[in-house]
Structure 1
Amino acid sequence: MPADEPATPPGAEWGPDILGDGFEARRLSVPGGSGIATLIRHRPEGDPQAIPGTPQDRRWCALYVHGWNDYFFQRELARHVSAGGGAFYAIDLHHYGRSLQPDDMPGWCTALSDYAPDLHVALRAMSEDHPGCPIILIGHSTGGLLASLWATRNPGRVAGLWLTSPWLELQCGPGKRRLWHQAFHVASVLRQRLVLPLGTDQLYATSLRGWNTLDGPPPAKYIDAGYGMDPSLAGFDLIDKWKSAEGSPVRAGWIYAITSAHTQLSRSAPLDIPVLLHASTTTHAGASGEWTNDVLWSDAVLNADVLVAAGAMLANDIDIRRYRMRHDPLTSFPDVRQAVWADFHAWTARILPDAARGPSELGDTACYAICP
C-alpha cells in the first residue's frame, strides 16, 4: 500500500484499489450535496494472500465503517469475512480517505445523520451484487457510533452489528456528557469550526507506525513466533493525509454532532439484532498525552469501561469481549487478533447459521489466520 495519496482517485466503475491485488474500489455519488463516498470490495479469487479454503460462493455480506481520522486499510478483516463465506465491502465516507476532495475539511460534519446517505448508497450497491444476502454492519470507534445510530433508525435492514471500540459515550460518562453537550452547543453556535483544546488520537496514530526501539526490544514471544514483520510491530503503511500521525483537531461543530448522537442513542430502545462488541480491558492513563509503551496494549483514544457500559444497554442480544488490546483490535498484536477472529467466526455462525462458516468448518488454520 502506498504511503502517498494516489494521483488518480477511484472512478465510477470498479477498478484497482490501493490495497493491491484482490481489492477494488469505486466512487459513489451521495445524494443531498455531500459529495462522494468510496466503496471498496474484496475479491478473494484475485488475492494471492486470501485465506486458503475461502469459498467462491457468497451467502452473506459485511460492510465496514471506519472511525475518525481514518480510512479502510485492514486487509486481514476482508480476508476473514471472505473465508467465512461473506462478501466483504468497506466504505470511505465523504470527507474521509479515498473520498477526500481538494477543498474538503477532513472528517467534518455537523450531524452524524449526514452520513446516512453514504450507508444507503453503499448497501444498495452491495444488494445489487448479492441480492437477498443478509448483511452485517461493522463499525469502528466513531464508525461504531454511526453504525449503531443508523441501525436504531433503520430496523430490519441488517442482520447484526459488530462494533470494535465503538464511541458510544463521551469519555467522562453520561452525567458529565450532558454538561459538556451544552457547552459544545454554545461553542458551535458561536463558531462552528473553532478548534477546541481537547485530546486527539495522536498516541494511537503513533502506535500504528511500529514498535519504537526506544521502548526497548519488542516482545520476544512475537519475534520467536515469526511475527517480527507483522504490521502491529513493523508498522502499518498508512497514507498520512488520510490518517494523520498528528491526530485530527477537534472542532466545536463536530464534537457537538458527536454528543448529539450520544444523546440520541441513549434515548433509543435497545436494538433487536445481535451485537458483538470488542473493547480493551485497559484505558491509557496518560491524561496529558504523554507516550508510554502501554499505549500498545491499551485504548489510548476512548475510555474502554465507559463505552462497554454504554454498549451493555445497546441491544437485547449483546456479546461483549474484552482483551488487552489497542483502540482497534484489528491493529493489535497477533494473539489478540486471533482471539478476535475466533469470536467473530463463532458469532457470525450463530446469527447466520445457514450462511456463515464457523470455527469448526473453517478449521484452526483459517480461523486463526494472521494475514495482514
Structure 2
Amino acid sequence: MANDETGERLEDVLGAPYTVETIDLDPDDEGEVVAHLVSRPAVGPTRGAVLHLHGFADYFFQTEYADWWAGRGYAFYALDLRKYGRSILEHQTPNYVTDLREYFAEIDEAWRLITERDGHRRVVGSAHSTGGLTLPLWVNDRRRELAGMVLNSPWFDMQGAWWVRSVGTTLVKEVGRRRPKRVIPRTVSGLYTRSLHHEHEGEFSFNLDWKPVESWPVYAGWLRAIRQGHAELHGGLEVGCPALVLSSARSTWPSAMGDDVHRHDIVLDVEQIRRWAPALGRHVTSIAVEGARHDVTLSLPDARATVYRELGTWVTAYVDPAPAAG
C-alpha cells in the first residue's frame, strides 16, 4: 500500500524549489519497496501538472526540462520508480522487476497525489526510454484522461537483428520464466553516460551511483517483462490524448568517443521508434530532431533548442488551454 496524506515533503537533492516525498509500497520477494515523487511548483498561474517517468539505469535529474514546464505554468512531478535512483534500497536488485505492471502501484499513487491531494485537473504524461513504454501501458490499462503525452525516445522494440526479436525473444521469455535473475550478457561501452556527465565528456551533473557509466545488469526476468510490454504495444493501444514522440534523427553504434556519440541515439534504434509510434493511438505526432542524443532533453545546446522549440509548438497547438486554469 502507498503512503497516506501525511507523507512529508523534504527538500530534494536537486535543491530548492525541488521537493521529494516517499511512497511506501507493498513489499516484494526482496523485502521493503519504496518509490519517490519529486515535485517542482509552477511559475505564475497554474495551467496543470506534468507526471514524468525516467528510463532504465536512470532517475530524475533533468531540471532544465522541469523548469521549462514550470515556466509554462505546469507543476512538474517526476517519479523515481521502485529500485531506481532515490528509491534503491540496499537489499534490492537495482532496476529489477518481472512485470512492468509492478510499476502501476506507484504511478497510481502519484496520480492520486497530483489530482486529489494537490488538485490538478489537467495532467500531461511524460516519459523517457523504458518509461516511454511503461507510461502508455499504464494509461491504456487505467483509462486515465491525460491532457497530452510526451515520449522522449521511447523503447518500443528490441534493437538488433531480426532473429533477436523472434527466436531470441522466445528464448528470453523461457529463460526469464525459469531463471528470472540470470544475467543477460551484453557489452556496455559507457559512451552514452560519459557523453552526458560533467566529469567526463558532458555538461550535466548527476549521481553516478544511481546512473552508472557501466549501466546496471540486465536480467532475463526483466527483459521478459520488456518484451511482453512490447508485444502489448505492438497489438495497438489507445492513450486517448494527443501524443508527441520525440527522437533523434538517426541512430549509430560508435566504438569510441566522438561527434557520433553526441549527435545520435546510440542506445535505441530510432527507426523502430518511428515505426511503432502510431500504435499509441489515433492522435500521434512524431518528430525526429537532427543532432539529438538518446535523451533528447540532454542533447547539445543547438539540438536541445530545437527540442524545446518543437515541444513548445506542439504544446501550444494541442495541450495548453486558452486561459490559465487551476
Q: TM-score normalised to the size of structure 1?
A: 0.79
CA contact (8 A) 1:200 1:249 kept: no
2:300 is matched with which residue?
Answer: 333
Are residues 1:318 and 2:304 paired? Answer: no
Q: 2:150 aligns with which of 162, 166, 183?
A: 162
In structure 2, distance between residues paired with 1:125 and 1:201? 39
Shift of 1:170: 1.0
1:360 is matched with which residue?
Answer: none
Distance 1:291 1:191, change over 3 A: farther
Report matched runs for 1:1-372 at 5 Å: 12-31=7-26, 33=28, 35-43=33-41, 54-55=43-44, 57-172=45-160, 176-200=164-188, 202-210=190-198, 234-286=202-254, 289-323=255-289, 324-354=291-321
Please report the RMSD computed on the Cα atoms of aligned residues, expressed in angstroms. 2.2
In structure 2, distance between residues paired with 1:356 and 1:68? 37
Distance 1:237 1:260, change over 3 A: same
Shift of 1:149: 1.2
2:3 is matched with which residue?
Answer: none
Shift of 1:339: 1.5
Question: Aligned pair count?
Answer: 315
CA contact (8 A) 1:152 1:268 kept: no
Deviates more, 1:127-136 or 1:347-356: 347-356
Distance 1:180 1:153, change over 3 A: same
CA contact (8 A) 2:23 2:36 kept: yes
Shift of 1:193: 1.0
Cα shift readout 1:2-48 (whole Å, capped 9, x = no counterpart): xxxxxxxxx9401100111211001012246571110001136xxxx
In structure 1, distance between residues paired with 2:66 and 2:322? 17
In structure 1, distance between residues paired with 2:127 and 2:250? 20
In structure 1, distance between residues paired with 2:189 and 2:61? 17
Cα shift readout 1:111-158 (whole Å, capped 9, x = no counterpart): 111100110001111113442521111010001010111122122432
Shift of 1:175: 7.2
Distance 1:338 1:293, change over 3 A: closer
In structure 2, distance between residues paired with 1:124 and 1:355? 26
Cα shift readout 1:297-355 (whole Å, capped 9, x = no counterpart): 11111011111111133221111111121100111111222221122222222223426
CA contact (8 A) 1:162 1:277 kept: yes
Distance 1:269 1:175, change over 3 A: farther
Query: What amino acid maps onto 1:27 in structure 2?
Result: T
In structure 2, distance between residues paired with 1:339 and 1:275? 18
Unaligned runs of 5+ in 1: 1-10, 45-53, 213-232, 358-372
In structure 2, distance between residues paired with 1:267 and 1:298? 29
Secondary structure of 1:313's counterpart equals helix
Distance 1:15 1:201, change over 3 A: farther
In structure 2, distance between residues paired with 1:246 and 1:344? 31
Deviates more, 1:178-187 or 1:165-174: 165-174
In structure 2, distance between residues paired with 1:276 and 1:119? 20
In structure 2, distance between residues paired with 1:86 and 1:356? 13
Shift of 1:174: 7.5
Shift of 1:246: 1.1
| Identity among equivalent pairs (%) | 29
Query: What amino acid maps onto 2:311 in structure 1?
Result: F
CA contact (8 A) 1:24 1:43 kept: no
Unaligned runs of 5+ in 2: 1-5
Q: TM-score normalised to the size of structure 2?
A: 0.89
Secondary structure of 2:59's counterpart equals coil
Bigger relative contact order, structure 1 or 2, given CA contacts below 8 A and separation 6+? Answer: 1
In structure 1, distance between residues paired with 2:64 and 2:314? 18
In structure 1, distance between residues paired with 2:309 and 2:232? 33
Query: What amino acid maps onto 2:10 in structure 1?
Result: G
